[in-house]
Amino acid sequence: MELKKYLCVDVPEIRVQGRVSSRKTSGIPLFWTGSAIEFNITGRELWLEYTCSGDSYIRIEIDKFDMYRFPLEVGTHKVCIMRGFSSEDVKNIRIFRETQASGTIITLDALYSDGEFEPLPERKYKVEVFGDSVTSGEGLAGAVCLMHWIPAVFSCRGNYGLLVADALDADWSIVSQSGWGIFTDWRNNRNNAIPRYYDYVCGMVKNDKAVELGSTDIFDIENDKTNITIINLGGNDNSAFGGGEPWVDENGVPHKMKRPDDLHLITEAVYNFCLHIRRRNKNTVILVCHNMLTDGLDPQIIEGVEKFKNDTGDTMVHTVLIPRASNEMKGSRNHPGAKAHALYAEAIIAKLKEIL
């Protein structure tokens, strides 16, 4: 049977997971780790047409079972993702971006199939997770001995954020970047803080193609329906207090986090991030994680949340202690592996079940 071509942007049954612009584009861009399209479809055969600008990976699930993970070729290409299936059965398809936000742009342009799209059921929740390298899935692919910092070591397979979403039957979004923190990155660069980009679709990626696809657009948070917001930041801020070199800004001013003088900056950053999220989203539950990789800034993270709650009377903001994973749970790049992510997800799910 001849396959029919469907432009991804024109199929109403396709649900986009992750942040995208509301502007009309020729394809669906996947900017962040774990961003995806999801749809239900019948038919025996299915092909994907994509465009990619550089080194990046995607992963494809059929009925939540991992079928393929592969690097993309540069340019526009077609790849078969389903063949020989029962034509009548409805299959759930999820196509993920594996690698974190970068200069590499992936757009999902078209699908070719002999089947028909079926509506996805509405979900009660949408989870958005803000984090660093762990949330970006660094270490979830590759052998434990693999230490090269390359796209191949990133994956959202087994990512704690997606585990939480699946456990709650929720839609999802991830906003994360390796090395970044809630106030500064691990090398004291205060520009590299995740809260600076909360308002944007993916403001950190600013090449011409990304801007054309809406990366720097203000994100439509009011209509996004995120009702669970998870913040998992602080590990890189803690590293900035270590023995590294100062970061020198564009005016020649050096910046270096020092204890105890600068600890209050972390407390203020946690407070201000909660405040900003609440101003933009009145109805989301905010869950602030701590202790995942270090307890070095636990007092400041907790203090920031408690101060926010006391000042505002907000009862929808909570902290959760994340258990520390053992060395046996490591993945590549000396980062947490799948067993560690499962441990983290278990703690977050238990806390959310209490709250919700």
Nearest CA among 221, 308, 297 for reference residue 273: 308
- Helices 298-312 and 263-280: crossing angle in degrees, nearest 10, is 40
- Residue-by-residue pLDDT tens, the chain, 356 positions: 789 999 999 999 999 999 999 999 999 999 999 999 999 999 999 999 999 999 999 999 999 999 999 999 999 999 999 999 999 999 999 999 999 999 999 999 999 999 999 999 999 999 999 999 999 999 999 999 999 999 999 999 999 999 999 999 999 999 999 999 999 999 999 999 999 999 999 999 999 999 999 999 999 998 999 999 999 999 999 999 998 899 999 999 999 999 999 999 999 999 999 999 999 999 999 999 999 999 999 999 999 999 999 999 999 999 999 999 999 999 999 999 999 999 999 999 999 999 99
CA 25 to chain centre: 22
**The pLDDT value given to residue 244:** 83
What fold is seen in the domain 4-118? Answer: Jelly Rolls (2.60.120)
Q: What is the pLDDT of residues 35-57, one digit of tens each?
A: 999 999 999 999 999 999 999 99
- Helices 160-168 and 338-355: crossing angle in degrees, nearest 10, is 40
Where b means 16+ CB within 10 Å and e means fewer, 120-149 reads: eeeeebbbbbbbbbbbbbbbbbbeeebeee
Domain 125-355: give its CATH code: 3.40.50.1110
CB atoms inside a 10 Å sphere around CB 203? 19
* CA 180/CA 190 separation, integer angstroms: 9
Q: What is the pLDDT of residues 170-193, one digit of tens each?
A: 999 999 999 999 999 999 999 999
* CA 129/CA 162 separation, integer angstroms: 9
Structure tokens at 282: 């009145």
**The pLDDT value given to residue 340:** 98
Domain boundaries, the chain: 4-118, 125-355
* CA 150/CA 180 separation, integer angstroms: 17
**The pLDDT value given to residue 243:** 82
CB atoms inside a 10 Å sphere around CB 259? 9
SS3 266: helix
